Chains A and B, each alone.
Chain A
């Protein structure tokens, strides 16, 4: 068995070498192209009379196609938009998953190499095994997406393909490289063990992540081009240089947001996998393993979740900077209601993450010291969440409307606007961090001499941080010029991050040689805590679907904003209920497929020895080989 794997690894190594050769072959071409462009730009600057706009006017590329209702093929009984929507979303979910898993497999493998703790290596291997099947599903869904785009939106596809044809070619090449890296990384896992070989393996993991990230960035550029087109003129005539089209205004904000969100999403899915394995295994060591795996995955998910709101602010700011019209459509118009749904989901994420941590404290008897604080954390989180959730426009019955004398509420109303929500989300993050601190300390007692000072310093730090967040939120949010309203969120974020970082520093020194009061018993968690992991995974998936819809929906009736109009029968913005239903159906399909993937990884480990099926010699032979391998 082992021997076979080794062979496969070698074959893949050959494949990789071949692919690298191909890549290097392309790389110089690209490099030369850049050189070429560089040369042209020098020539242009030397000759100021030469004008770029004529380049566009006389460009061999035509303007963006003008479509009519007839340009959109229809299939009776099938709504093309919903098909594209679902397929794209499913592709995205799987892609996010298969891109995220290698990121933290790489990290976990590195941790394992450093600590020489075998459990990390086993867990990393189990993760990557899961992503192998998901990888082929991603590719299939990507093909299906392309197919349905060509089928239902041929003109849009044609237009995008004329602009991005080069990058689509690189994309295909990168996809091969990604496959090679992934297969080598997975099949070579047990072959590349120990010493230098382990380093080679880790390097392949790094390569896998680099290629995967590049793949995503490339695909991101196509969709951000549709939101913030650049490199084309007002009529959509492509200037011929692909780089501005790729590097359009929203490209980097989306790149950042997606990388962070992918890690959080991947972590939550793996967490759910571990939770399911935990629930269905009966052996104590299995339960311990999966408990530990679920905890680690959840830790990764939450660590990535905490900075996510800030990546979101950055993206939104850039959307405003690109087009205020788009920004207002996003935050002020009809989509504002989708942010109320988003608020509920994010609240669910925070609540379940905290609940999981509280339950996990039960692994050690030492945690009892901290139980009494849980209710205060809960009060802060629920209180902050209620503010976070309060909509700007209240749903009022006529009686309430009359009683209030208008649709404005003097006391609840101020919670509806951004400064209150920024304050609330920062408090929620801090409270979650406190939960984590308690969890960390559950089984330990600090032995350093300055425990009291350290603790007081931490308390003072938190108090100062909270006061600062409050002052920033309340004063700058309600009593000054609106310019500062948005600006105040940045110092708030900095405060939160500073509190977290300094507190971690203090804590790590304080608990350096801490005494263990009661051992951490992996596997000793209540089953309901595992449901918190499921809630996290389901909420995350649904949330991603919803936010994907919002991101795409703010283009409104444009395929490519202000350049190529959507004239199909489905150019309208659907109601939120409809969107939520599509997202729900997508989530159910996705989770079913994920279950299938997990199930596959489970049966691959199962071996049935049928009785009286094989002729006796054959069985003997197989056993002999297996034993020798």
Chain B
């Protein structure tokens, strides 16, 4: 039996929708954000509509049941039912969307705000755009020393950072659960892999209070590490972060 076009379209949409949920929420165990799913479905609906109305025959078949529902006298009963259910559904959706709940409002932070062109730390001024890790050069010139520096950085990390950022650098340290926003996950391709070392230096040295207004709400609990760590220690720990995760810091110049 041939499935009517309208039903086909609805089925396709349902399969895609539940497919997303199945794949992300169950198979991959990472929920798909509802805001994203809504936008995704909007465009999937548009795509499905486009495919089914791309030619005249298919378009007619698609709207035929709807046309019949509205115009065919023999379908009076179904028509009445649908015309009652549809507004009710719309009402229910509106109510759901607007009713008050205990859920805190969605807050959105810009995770990587634009860095300032210069920053102050250790009583000095740094040009963030040109700042480079003084130890990076040893990677080529003196690999042994470089390894030692990384080991130093690892020590610094375990003594100071891992409580929140985790011993696997995945942002799941023992205290992470108590924090909102949650600590940065360095294993994620979207964090340090996208950043320059100077950016990390800025974020570590000035901490949450050093965030610009753009990164509001200003609630990061990252300490101002320049009060606790030396400049060298920060650069070492940056070496460690990249070494452990295997990412390369971003650089704008070609080598």
Give yes or no for direct A-B contact (beta carbon below 8 Å).
Answer: yes
- Residues on A facing B (Cβ under 8 Å): 320, 324-325, 328-329, 332-334, 336, 347, 351, 354-355, 358-359, 361-362, 367-368, 371, 374-375, 378-379, 381-382, 385-386, 389-401, 403-414, 416-417, 478, 480-483, 485, 487, 526, 528
Q: B193 at interface (Cβ–Cβ under 8 A)?
A: yes
Query: By the criterion CB–CB under 8 Å, are B47 and A378 in contact?
Result: yes
The 10 closest A-B pairs by CB, nearest first: A333-B114, A482-B250, A382-B47, A358-B54, A406-B182, A408-B188, A481-B248, A395-B35, A328-B114, A378-B51
User: Can you spell out 12 A-B residue pairs with CB atoms less than 8 angstroms apart?
Assistant: A333-B114, A351-B46, A355-B50, A362-B55, A393-B110, A395-B33, A396-B33, A396-B35, A406-B176, A412-B36, A414-B190, A481-B255
- Neighbouring A residues of B56 by C-beta, 8 Å: 362, 526
- Neighbouring A residues of B47 by C-beta, 8 Å: 351, 378-379, 381-382
CA distance A386 to B171 in the complex (A): 27
The contact string, 1 if C-beta is below 8 Å from chain A, for chain B 42-58, is 01101110110111101
Q: B113 at interface (Cβ–Cβ under 8 A)?
A: yes
- Neighbouring B residues of A483 by C-beta, 8 Å: 250-255
Task: With CB as the reference atom, state the residue of chain B lying closest to A328.
Answer: B114
Q: Which of B24-32, B84-92, B203-211, B230-238 contacts A (4 or more CB under 8 A)?
A: B24-32
- Residues on B facing A (Cβ under 8 Å): 24, 28, 30-36, 39-40, 43-44, 46-48, 50-51, 53-56, 58-59, 103-104, 106, 108-115, 117, 129, 171-172, 176, 180-185, 188-191, 193-194, 214, 248-255
Q: Which of B115, B172, B182 contacts A328 (CB 8 A)?
A: B115
CA distance A336 to B55 in the complex (A): 38
Q: Knowing A332-B112, A392-B190, A393-B109, say if A404 contacts B30 (CB, 8 Å).
A: yes
Candidate in A358, A382, A414, A478 with the most chain B CB atoms within 10 angstroms: A382
Shortest Cβ gap from A288 to chain B (Å) = 17
Query: By the criterion CB–CB under 8 Å, are B54 and A416 in contact?
Result: no
Q: Which of B43, B117, B188 contacts A413 (CB 8 A)?
A: B188
Task: With CB as the reference atom, state the residue of chain A lying closest to B47.
Answer: A382
Task: With CB as the reference atom, state the residue of chain A lying closest to B40.
Answer: A386
Query: By the criterion CB–CB under 8 Å, are A334 and B190 in contact?
Result: no
- Neighbouring A residues of B129 by C-beta, 8 Å: 324-325
Query: By the criterion CB–CB under 8 Å, are B214 and A358 in contact?
Result: no
- Neighbouring B residues of A528 by C-beta, 8 Å: 53, 59
- Neighbouring A residues of B108 by C-beta, 8 Å: 393, 395
CA distance A290 to B29 in the complex (A): 53
Query: By the criterion CB–CB under 8 Å, are B114 and A398 in contact?
Result: no
- Neighbouring B residues of A393 by C-beta, 8 Å: 108-111
Shortest Cβ gap from B50 to chain A (Å) = 5
Query: By the criterion CB–CB under 8 Å, are A333 and B214 in contact?
Result: yes
Candidate in A355, A390, A482 with the most chain B CB atoms within 10 angstroms: A482
Query: By the criterion CB–CB under 8 Å, are B112 and A359 in contact?
Result: no
Query: By the criterion CB–CB under 8 Å, are A400 and B103 in contact?
Result: no
Q: Knowing A378-B51, A409-B30, say if A526 contacts B109 (CB, 8 Å).
A: no
Shortest Cβ gap from A397 to chain B (Å) = 6
Q: Knowing A333-B113, A398-B106, say if A478 contacts B46 (CB, 8 Å).
A: no
- Neighbouring A residues of B193 by C-beta, 8 Å: 478, 482
